[in-house]
């Protein structure tokens, strides 16, 4: 009996020892591997391929090579049966090595993720916007940048593969460093700003591909040691804390075409089974596309799986590092850094949590990335507070309290934090600290107007804005442009729509009369009671507070020399405290005076302007030192200054989306706005695509070195489905001197006896393909239901504003011609004074008549 038991035990042991892998899915390699791939344009080789299916067409983005080029580019391929592949077009060839493509569908086409081998030293993940025909922009956007000073990522990041869950997109990606390969996770709510999850997992893994089945998420990936393709599983919903359980190998190297390596799996649920495409490195050292299937997914007969001598896999443990106990840091940005479409474009009331940082604002990237290099993690102990910079500071500090309650205090009510605020953000943080002193560890203000700024005098007294290359000027300008009305003056609009202006009105004497005598702020009709109140107790937080300020020279606006308001100002209610006739300057950062930004005896001064004071390495190092944070010089990253002059701005209000194309670059809207900084001169193509039927308006702002012009284009989406209508507009731009985007009518039109018919912006309802270009006289629907709309003055989109110190010197003849034609044909003036002068003239004449009658009667 004992002998029989020993025999049974021996047999079981042998079975266990030589058993093959346990496969979660039973994949069988296609007998016809490798698959047939045909090329065009002299391309001949492939590396990875991202495969997907739309309708009955199999599609793929391949990393491909064209000898004798030594790098890979990207191409678009199709197949009708999933086996035979034909190249359709080159997608991107930038001269740099591109690889690891993947796509996610958007409203306007696709977002293409890719890896670029920068300087042949480090891998980085970028994205490119593509239309539905895979015409992709060579203007790449950063997605995941490696921390090359981190031992774990010094070789780079790559192979980003997206997974959509509700309104959030997750991105699985690989990382390579001194500890080998591993997989990481990031997420985004707008496909622009990406937040990393804290931990790496699946060490030794690369090329992740997520596949959802029921309530499980399966992650296929290849092993970096060339052993094969494995699988891990987690339960949905996906989060940064998801734990992936190892499901073992799904495919291993056992054929001549994949003998040396198997990489980059793509999974399709097709014909009642799964198709697994992968690239295999054969015994001849060539990469080829291969296919394995489960069930009936393969279109051709499949062989019996070949046993593999690999042992039964065990679950790979996830390494979870213990985070350092770092004091949370909250960064509060300044004017115009935050945005919300509904609030700014439509004046709707939205919750503070709906605001986000503008994607074109790069000033804070240096500080944020520096803190990440040191060990801080976004939404763990590093936060950025976006907010409505138009509203009162009292309201913003209340929102900030709610923000911290949600982000920090719900989990740890006693946690103190460090605050770093730039410009207006520093003032917000300081007022919050005065109201909640017990919650603050340290607060640093950077270039903040603690005693106000003289720039707010003209807007509040008369609705006038002095042009400057600053976010403050742009913020004021956009508020005024978007809310321009004939029913109220610009002064009233600023007061109603920009209440923060009064909170930053100067609390120091800044006006002088024509004899040079200072005028006391106590004698002004506008008084900043807000700052006056909080400045009385400012010193109470000095032990927690430090000011960093910039001091370039004496070219920062300090105030105005004024004269009494004239008769017209009295009638309009402007400049009750005096009209500026000259300005004077003093020490500061070109925006905020030193005496307003520097407080307490331990203030730190730098020879920087208002943007440099938050972006330069020296300033960032000082912030870290003040917060007692240890750092190395190689961890410091410098930010970028956004250049307002010269730039282009597009804002859309309506049932449509827009994009702008220029020199192979595609700019897509983010929350209803496109901002193109440092714009080049040339012809920009604006494309408006319907999302619903109805009228739309696009506000176009041209900011050049010498002037800025704001105009409005009005159109209508009439086609069904609405997405089939794309209206095209040609926007000419000169970055030295901006001109109207509407071509000026000629005098010949003025003297013609017959008034020409007004050209409408409404496209024809029935598609009529034509070869017309943007120079055509009347709008027509060109190929693929895209409307090329000529912008003409008769179309009457409103000119919203022109500002320039040399306005009268710019094309005076054109201005006269516009006036003549406008009066005769559209009977709508483009100059606001044409609305004001009749009323003003009537008032003046009435006043003169009244005084004259009074004098006569008195006699």
**How does strand 511-512 pair with strand 553-563?**
parallel
Helices 471-482 and 490-497 pack at an angle, to 10 degrees, of 110
Q: At what angle do helices 424-435 and 393-404 cross, to 10 degrees?
A: 70
CATH number at residue 347: 3.40.50.1820
Tell me the three-class secondary structure of 63-110, residue by residue: EEECCCCCCEEEEEEEECCCCEEEEEEEEECCCCEEEEEEEEEECCEE
Q: Do residue 210 and residue 287 come from a single domain?
A: yes
In this predicted structure, what is the pLDDT of residue 841? 52
363 and 431 in a single domain? The answer is yes
One domain for residues 288 and 336:
no
Q: Is the pLDDT of residue 814 over 60?
A: no
- pLDDT band of 205, cuts 50, 70, 90: very high
Q: Judge whether 43 lies within some domain.
A: yes
Distance from CA of residue 117 to its chain's centroid?
A: 24
Q: Does residue 275 sit in the same domain as residue 207? A: yes
To the question of pTM greater than 0.95 for the whole model, the response is: no
By the 8 A CB rule, do 159 and 183 touch? Answer: no
Report whether pLDDT(794) > 90. Answer: no
Considering only CA atoms, which of 139, 221, 230, 215 is closest in space to residue 185?
221
β-sheet bridge partners, residue 717: 694
Domain that holds residue 701: 647-811
Measured in degrees and rounded to the nearest 5, phi and psi for residue 781 equal -90, 115
Assess contact for 71 and 118: CB atoms under 8 A.
no
How does pLDDT run across 480-525, given as a tens digit for each residue?
Answer: 999 988 888 999 999 999 999 999 999 999 999 999 999 999 999 9
**C-alpha dihedral over 346, 352, 353, 357, to 10 degrees?**
70
pLDDT at 792 over 80: no
Q: Give the pLDDT confidence of 726-735 residue by residue, as tens digits.
A: 999 999 999 9
Under 8 Å between Cβ of 439 and 464: no
Share of the chain above pLDDT 90, in %: 69
Q: pLDDT, tens digit, for every residue of 673-708?
A: 999 999 999 999 999 999 899 999 999 999 999 999
pLDDT band of residue 325 (cuts 50, 70, 90) is low
Q: Is the pLDDT of residue 331 over 70?
A: yes
**What does the pLDDT read at residue 834?**
47
Q: How many domains does the chain have?
A: 3
Q: Based on the domain organization, do 35 and 126 belong to the same domain?
A: yes
Q: What is the mean pLDDT of residues 49-68?
A: 94
Domain-located, residue 81: yes
Domain membership of residue 642 (yes or no) is no
The 10s digit of each residue's pLDDT in 99-149 is 999 999 988 899 999 999 988 789 999 999 999 999 999 889 999 999 888
Res. 210: pLDDT tops 90: yes
Residue 797 lies in a domain: yes
Can you tell me the distance from the alpha carbon of 41 to that of 160, in angstroms, rounded to the nearest whole number? 27
Band of residue 319 on the pLDDT scale cut at 50, 70, 90: very low
- Cβ atoms of 787 and 727 within 8 Å: the answer is yes
> Has residue 770 been placed in a domain?
yes
Q: Quote the pLDDT of residue 24.
A: 57
Residue 34: cis peptide before it, omega within 30 degrees of 0: yes
Residue 698 to residues 77, 513, 645, 729, 791: CA-CA distances in angstroms?
36, 44, 21, 11, 12
**Confidence at residue 759, expressed as pLDDT on a 0 to 100 scale:** 34
Same-domain status, 617 and 706? no
Per-residue pLDDT for 321 more than 70?
Answer: no
The strand pair at 382-384 and 417-422 is best described as unpaired
Say whether both 368 and 268 belong to one domain: no
Regarding whether 566 and 502 lie in a shared domain, the answer is yes
Q: Which residues contact 648 (CB under 8 A, 6 or more apart)?
A: 660, 674, 675, 676, 679, 684, 700, 701, 702, 703, 731, 733
Q: Are residues 596 and 567 in the same domain?
A: yes
β-bridge partners, 28: 293
Comparing CA positions, the residue from 292, 208, 207, 206 lying closest to residue 255 is: 292
Note whether 204 and 228 are same-domain residues. Answer: yes
299: in domain: no
Nearest to 422 by CA among 445, 399, 449, 389: 445
What phi and psi values does residue 433 have, to the nearest 5 degrees? Answer: -65, -40
Structure tokens at 408: 């920090």
Helices (H) and strands (E) in the chain, counts: 17, 44
Residue 750, classed as helix, strand or coil, is helix
Evaluate whether residue 321 is within a structural domain.
no
Residue 76 has pLDDT above 70, yes or no: yes
Q: What Cα–Cα distance (Å) separates residue 506 from each residue in 106, 292, 388, 450, 634?
A: 47, 72, 21, 9, 41
pLDDT at res. 25 = 78
Residue 484 confidence (pLDDT) = 86
Question: Do 683 and 565 share a structural domain?
Answer: no
Q: What percent of the chain has pLDDT over 70?
A: 80
635-661 pLDDT, tens digit per residue, is 999 999 998 989 999 999 888 999 999
Asked whether residue 845 is domain-assigned, the answer is: no
pLDDT tens readout for residues 365-417: 999 999 999 999 998 999 999 999 999 999 999 999 999 999 999 989 999 99
User: What's residue 152's pLDDT?
Assistant: 86
Bridging pattern class, strands 72-79 and 57-65: antiparallel
Which DSSP symbol is given to 539? G
Q: CA 303 to CA 293: how far, in whole Å?
A: 10
Give the CATH number of the domain where residue 82 resides.
2.115.10.20
């Amino acid at each position: 009996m004992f002998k029989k038991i020993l025999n049974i035990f021996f047999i079981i042991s042998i079975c266990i020892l030589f058993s093959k892998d346990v496969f979660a899915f039973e994949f069988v390699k296609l007998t016809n591997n490798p698959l047939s791939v045909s090329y065009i344009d002299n391309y001949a080789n492939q590396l990875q391929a991202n495969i997907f299916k739309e309708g009955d067409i199999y599609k793929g983005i391949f990393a491909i090579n064209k000898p004798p080029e030594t790098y890979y580019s990207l191409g678009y391929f199709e197949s009708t049966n999933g086996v035979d592949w034909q190249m359709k077009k080159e997608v991107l060839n930038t001269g740099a090595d591109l690889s690891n493509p993947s796509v996610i569908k958007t409203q306007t086409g696709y977002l293409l993720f890719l890896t670029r081998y920068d300087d042949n030293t480090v891998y980085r993940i970028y994205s490119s916007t593509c239309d539905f025909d895979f015409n992709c922009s060579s203007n790449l956007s950063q997605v995941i940048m490696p921390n090359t000073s981190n031992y774990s990522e010094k070789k780079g990041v790559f192979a980003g593969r997206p997974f959509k869950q509700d309104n959030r997109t997750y991105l699985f990606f690989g990382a390579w460093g001194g500890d080998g390969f591993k997989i990481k996770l990031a997420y985004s709510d707008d496909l622009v700003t990406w937040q990393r999850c804290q931990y790496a997992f699946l060490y030794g893994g690369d090329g992740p591909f997520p596949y959802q089945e029921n309530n499980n998420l399966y992650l296929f990936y290849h092993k970096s040691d060339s052993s094969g393709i494995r699988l891990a599983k987690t339960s949905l919903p996906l989060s940064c804390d998801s734990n992936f359980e190892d499901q073992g190998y799904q495919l291993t190297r056992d054929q001549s075409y994949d003998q040396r390596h198997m990489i980059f799996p793509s999974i399709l649920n097709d014909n009642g089974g799964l198709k697994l495409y992968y690239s295999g490195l054969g015994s001849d050292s060539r990469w080829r596309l291969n296919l394995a299937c489960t069930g009936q997914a393969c279109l051709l007969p499949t062989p019996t799986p070949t046993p593999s001598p690999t042992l039964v896999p065990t679950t790979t443990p996830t390494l979870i590092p213990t985070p350092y106990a770092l004091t949370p840091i909250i960064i509060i940005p300044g004017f115009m850094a935050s945005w919300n479409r509904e609030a700014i474009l439509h004046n709707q009331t939205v919750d503070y949590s709906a605001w986000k940082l503008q994607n074109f604002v790069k000033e804070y990237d240096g500080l944020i990335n520096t803190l990440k290099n040191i060990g801080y993690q976004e939404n763990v102990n590093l936060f950025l507070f976006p907010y409505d910079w138009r509203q009162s500071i009292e309201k913003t500090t209340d929102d900030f309290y709610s923000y911290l309650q949600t982000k920090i205090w719900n989990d740890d009510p006693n946690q103190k934090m460090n605050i770093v605020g730039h410009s207006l953000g520093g003032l917000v943080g300081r007022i919050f600290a005065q109201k909640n002193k017990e919650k603050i560890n340290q607060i640093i203000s950077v270039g903040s107007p603690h005693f106000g700024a003289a720039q707010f005098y003209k807007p509040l007294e008369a609705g006038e804005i002095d042009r400057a290359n600053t976010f403050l000027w742009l913020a004021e300008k956009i508020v005024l442009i978007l809310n321009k009305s004939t029913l109220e003056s610009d002064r009233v609009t600023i007061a109603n729509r920009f209440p923060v202006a009064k909170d930053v009105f100067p609390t120091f004497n800044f006006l002088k009369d024509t004899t040079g005598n200072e005028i006391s702020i106590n004698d002004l009709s506008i008084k900043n009671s807000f700052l006056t109140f909080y400045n009385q107790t400012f010193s109470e937080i000095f032990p927690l507070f430090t000011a960093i300020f910039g001091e370039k020279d004496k070219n920062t606006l300090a105030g105005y020399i004024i004269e009494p308001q004239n008769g017209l100002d009295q009638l309009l209610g402007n400049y009750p405290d005096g009209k500026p006739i000259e300005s004077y300057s003093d020490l500061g950062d070109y925006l905020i005076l030193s005496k307003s930004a520097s407080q307490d005896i331990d203030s730190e001064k730098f020879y920087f302007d208002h943007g440099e004071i938050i972006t330069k390495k020296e300033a960032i190092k000082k912030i870290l030192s003040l917060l007692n944070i240890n750092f190395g010089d190689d961890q410091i990253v410098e930010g970028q200054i956004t250049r307002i002059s010269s730039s282009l701005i597009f804002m859309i209000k309506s049932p449509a989306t827009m994009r702008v194309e220029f020199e192979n670059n595609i700019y897509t809207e983010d929350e209803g706005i496109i901002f193109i900084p440092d714009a080049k001169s040339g012809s920009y193509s604006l494309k408006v695509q319907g999302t619903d039927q109805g009228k739309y308006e696009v506000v176009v702002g041209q900011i050049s070195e010498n002037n800025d012009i704001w105009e409005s284009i009005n159109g209508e989406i009439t086609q069904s489905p609405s997405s089939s209508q794309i209206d095209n507009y040609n926007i000419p731009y000169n970055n030295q001197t901006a001109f109207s985007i509407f071509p000026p009518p000629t005098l010949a039109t003025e003297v013609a006896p017959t008034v020409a018919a007004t050209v409408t912006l409404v496209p024809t309802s029935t598609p009529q393909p034509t070869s017309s270009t943007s120079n055509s006289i009347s709008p027509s629907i060109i190929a693929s239901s895209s409307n090329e709309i000529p912008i003409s003055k008769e179309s009457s989109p409103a000119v919203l504003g022109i500002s320039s110190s040399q306005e009268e010197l710019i094309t005076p003849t054109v201005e006269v011609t516009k006036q003549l034609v406008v009066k005769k044909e559209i009977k709508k003036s483009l100059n606001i004074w044409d609305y004001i002068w009749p009323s003003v003239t009537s008032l003046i004449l009435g006043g003169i008549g009244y005084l004259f009658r009074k004098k006569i009667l008195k006699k």
